[in-house]
Amino acid sequence: MEIDTTWVWVFLSLYIIYCFSWGLKGFFTEKTSYGYSIGGRQIPMIAFLMAATAASFSGWTTIGHPGLIWQYGLAYGFVSFYALTIPLTGSFFAKRAWLMGKRYGFVTPGDMYAYYYNREGVRWLAVLTAILFGIFYAAIQLMAAGALFHWVTGFPLSWGAILMAFIVWFYVVTGGLKASTWVGVVQFILLMVAMLTVGAYVLVHFGGWSHMSQEIQNMPDKFLEIPSIMEFTVGQEKWTALMILTYLFSLMGIQSSPAFTMWQFANKNPRPFAWQQVFMSAFLVGFAMFFFTAFQGLGGQILDMQGLIDPARDSDVVPMLMAKFLPPFVLGICFIGLIAAMHSTAAPYIGTAGSMLLRDVWWLKIRNKQGGHAEQIWMNRLFVTILTILALIVGLTSQAALVILGALATALGFIMYIPLMGTLWGFRWPSIGTVLGILAGLIAVFITYYVFPNPLTIHCAAWGIGTGLLVAYLSRFLGGTDNQATMDRQKEVRSWLDNIEEPGPRGRTWRNSMKYIIPVWFLFAAGPLAMMSNWGLFSFAGFPAAWSWQIVWWILGIIMMWALCFKAEMATITNDQIRRAETESKIVVHEVT
């Protein structure tokens, strides 16, 4: 079927103009390395709310998620809970990371980890993780954008990927993090419109929910149930309860990645964090995922059974639905929405990885803290360019391995829980334990994804974090210790951070309660006890039992996130706390010397 692409080109042109305008604005206004790399710590609330949400969900949500529901049914639909588990990571760490950055002047996560542990090895591992995450994750987004561009317009795949990469590269390399963030505002709006619109058109095709519900109830059981708690296998992709749970762990690595920590430093204040975590992610994106991406995935499977579409792979489902149901004008909007979703993730990861290479490697190690703002900005741009080229090379030459690289990227980000838990919450193991724990975790991730994939249908992220934490604690129990200077430094950090971030009496009570509520929610929502959804305990409004289970625990999850972020004060901040963070500064990192 020939597709009318007039509006696709019109909206693509407008999108490019918007992206380039922010890049050029940054090019002419950002004159300091500090301003270019972390927006001068002045990213406003509305910008972070939308851009961070867009970057958290990306093309995996808009194209990959419906496609995998088409392939695996409602078992994979339980993965929609990452609308809550991704921001859950932010609720654990974001506010405390901002406080640390504000007091000590940290620009990169490597600054924070190296200062707290008094060991440069942690900095190097943070940079390595940022580079691998940035290249692999950006490669997926750029190639997916190129493939969608090819699918809709017939433009050659390789040249389409290069064009998509050029758009991202231009506004990131010219405007820095602030430009990337403001472009992300429109990208969030576009990706939400795309997800809702495609799902709505599928629903309308079936004549509304009552008719679609009847079609879903007639689907084979394999599309409507979780197959088992676990399987004693290696290398099989089967969405058991344990696979679902541990895959969610992997995706929690998005907001523990070095890129997100750096973005948290860049905020003017932490006020956006709670609203981004509860309203933008858990509620808005959760609503789109639990209903509209499911409409796309299950609707696509019904259409496939009816012979109306014939996807060769999961990534074909959404483009086919768009081509079949959307009129040209709406197709143009949704096409840009999907492209924006992919760009929203590629841009900040490439940009922050470039800034880490500039600060942690070039300026600190190679130039020995020499070099002014202009030199730093241009070297930053060079590193962003190199990373963009590397991401394109990986994507164009290793397409068969892109899924592997993507899952590795998020799992690598989850390993950063180790230094974050120590630095921000005071989990105790020696500095060498942090280094060895991260290394062991990275190695375990690689082995359990590439060599022996997902043993016992447990995702590599769980094997990685389990191994890393085991090694970190073993370093402590086997007698590893830090020198007195390191212990004194950590004591000072702990004293200040725990004092300024201490909750009130009610907040403390809520925090103690959440220690039990969160694990229970995980077990029932997407863990072993989610198998109860197969028993048909309840269903409502025509939703199958498993889907009804997901909706109930999504609603309970929103309440949990609200309680955690607001009542337990994990993501809220007072004016006095902001004032103290601004006035009680102890800058240990400098822009120029």
Q: What is the pLDDT of residues 430-464, one digit of tens each?
A: 999 999 999 999 999 999 988 999 999 999 999 99
Angle at 530 between CA 525 and CA 536, to 5 degrees: 120
Closest CA to 181 of 272, 106, 92, 102: 272
Region 240-255: mean pLDDT is 95
The CATH superfamily holding the domain 5-584 is: Sodium/glucose cotransporter (1.20.1730.10)
27 vs 22, 219, 264, 352, 387, CA distance in Å?
9, 54, 22, 17, 19
Region 347-359: mean pLDDT is 94
Cβ atoms of 244 and 526 closer than 8 Å = yes
Closest CA to 333 of 201, 474, 501, 476: 201
pTM over 0.85: yes
Tell whether the model's pLDDT for residue 345 goes beyond 90. Answer: no
133 vs 137, 353, 417, 473, 519, CA distance in Å?
6, 9, 15, 26, 28
Region 235-245: mean pLDDT is 92
At 480, is the pLDDT very low, low, confident or very high (cuts 50, 70, 90)?
confident
Query: For the chain, what is the mean pLDDT?
Result: 93
pLDDT of residue 402: 54
307: its two tokens = 């012979």
Q: Which of 291-300, 319-328, 543-552 has the lowest mean pLDDT?
A: 319-328
Q: Which DSSP state fits 467? A: H
Region 375-399: mean pLDDT is 91
Interhelix angle 65-72/317-325, rounded to 10 degrees, is: 100
In this structure, what are the phi and psi dihedrals at residue 439, rounded to the nearest 5 degrees? -60, -50
Region 171-188: mean pLDDT is 94
At 593, is the pLDDT very low, low, confident or very high (cuts 50, 70, 90)?
low
Question: 429-468: b or e for each residue (b if 16 or more CB lie within 10 Å)?
Answer: bbbbbbbbbbbbbbebbebbbeeebbbbbbbbbbbbbbbb
Torsion of CA 18, 20, 22, 23, to 10 degrees: 160
Integer Cα distance of 145 and 557 in angstroms? 32
Q: Name 267's bridge partners.
A: 43
Q: Which of 72-76, 300-304, 395-399, 477-481 has the lowest mean pLDDT?
A: 395-399
Region 85-91: mean pLDDT is 97
Region 223-248: mean pLDDT is 94
Place of tokens 């838990």: 421
Neighbours of 341 (CB within 10 A): 29
Helix/strand/coil percent split, the chain, to 5 = 80, 0, 20
At 401, is the pLDDT very low, low, confident or very high (cuts 50, 70, 90)?
very low
Tell whether the model's pLDDT for residue 220 goes beyond 70. Answer: yes
Region 119-146: mean pLDDT is 91
Tell whether the model's pLDDT for residue 403 goes beyond 80. Answer: no
Q: Per-residue DSSP letters for 284-316? A: IIHHIIIIIIHHHHHHHHHHHHTTS---SSGGG
Helix (H, G, I), strand (E, B) or coil at 228: coil
pLDDT of residue 404: 59
Instruction: Give 245's contacts (C-beta < 8 A, 6+ positions apart).
Output: 522, 526, 527, 528
pLDDT of residue 547: 98
Region 380-388: mean pLDDT is 96
pLDDT of residue 4: 81
pLDDT of residue 1: 54
Q: Per-residue DSSP letters for 4-37? A: --HHHHHHHHHHHHHHHHHHHHHHHH--SHHHHH
Q: How far apart are the first and last CA of the chain?
A: 62
In this structure, what are the phi and psi dihedrals at residue 34, rounded to the nearest 5 degrees? -60, -45
- The CA radius of gyration of the chain, in Å to the nearest whole number, is 23
137: its two tokens = 């994750």
Integer Cα distance of 197 and 541 in angstroms? 22
What share of the chain in percent tops pLDDT 90?
83
pLDDT of residue 408: 78
Give 33-69 pLDDT, tens digit per residue: 989 999 989 999 999 999 999 998 877 788 889 999 9
Integer Cα distance of 319 and 316 in angstroms? 6
Q: Per-residue DSSP letters for 340-360? A: HHHHHHHHHHHHHHHHHIIII
Region 317-324: mean pLDDT is 92
Q: Per-residue DSSP letters for 73-117? A: THHHHGGGGHHHHHHHHHHHHHHHHHHHHHHH---SHHHHHHHHH
Tell whether the model's pLDDT for residue 406 goes beyond 80. Answer: no
Question: 205-221: b or e for each residue (b if 16 or more CB lie within 10 Å)?
Answer: bbeeeeebbebbeebee
pLDDT of residue 14: 96
Tell whether the model's pLDDT for residue 136 goes beyond 70. Answer: yes
Q: Is the dihedral of CA 457, 458, 463, 469 positive or negative?
A: negative
Cβ atoms of 216 and 298 closer than 8 Å = yes
Cβ atoms of 332 and 10 closer than 8 Å = yes
| Residue 128: Cβ-neighbour burial (10 angstroms; 0-12, 13-18, 19+) | middle
Closest CA to 341 of 288, 390, 271: 288
Integer Cα distance of 70 and 110 in angstroms? 41
Torsion of CA 59, 61, 65, 66, to 10 degrees: -90
Interhelix angle 82-104/241-252, rounded to 10 degrees, is: 30
